[in-house]
Structure 1
Amino acid sequence: MTWSPTPTAHPVLGCAATIITAVQSVARVDPAYMRLGDKEQALLDLARARDLVEVLWLRVIDSAAMLPRTPAPRTWPHGWPPTPTSTAVSPPGRNTSPDPWNGTG
């Protein structure tokens, strides 16, 4: 991987930035409309990606013993997860979201 956010950035930082950008690019995509075979492949691929990211994360944690102990941030970085547009809760079995396919939108 040759891309990095800045010329002096470590490759792990470039990797993290690429992952963040990729996940943000599909944050509003609804997987409900994926074909069944695509969903199956996405689940396999995302599980593999999650495992690889976790291994890298653990390696960075292992090498970060010299970091000062500070509390974790209370907010999500980079605007993730997306802010919900409504706080209304629907009764079980009743979908009140606007949806042109079920006649509510």
Structure 2
Amino acid sequence: MSATPKNLAAVKDGAKHINVHPKTLRRYIAEGLITGYRVGPRNLRVDLDELDKFARPVRKAENAEPQPTELERRIAKAVAEAPPLTPEQRDRLALLFRSAA
């Protein structure tokens, strides 16, 4: 018989430990990503040490472009869809920008 880990916790507590919903942790167990341990007929436990190893930091790719936020995407879409400015509108905006500087 294999040795049972000593740092077992309930699924609810394990989920809190790695900041996920208990259903997500149960899905990880069902997919074989995390080992689940039966304690009695109904109690399911997880090894907190295994969860610590599972929740590892993600390395950022070198030369990765920062992703635009939702607001930045909406602004870019609005600008792309906006009709071109008339010469009068461009002059007025130029005047506003110069006075604000």
TM-score range, shorter chain: under 0.3
Higher relative contact order (CA 8 A, sep 6+): 2
Q: TM-score with structure 2 length normalisation?
A: 0.20
Higher strand share goes to which structure? 2
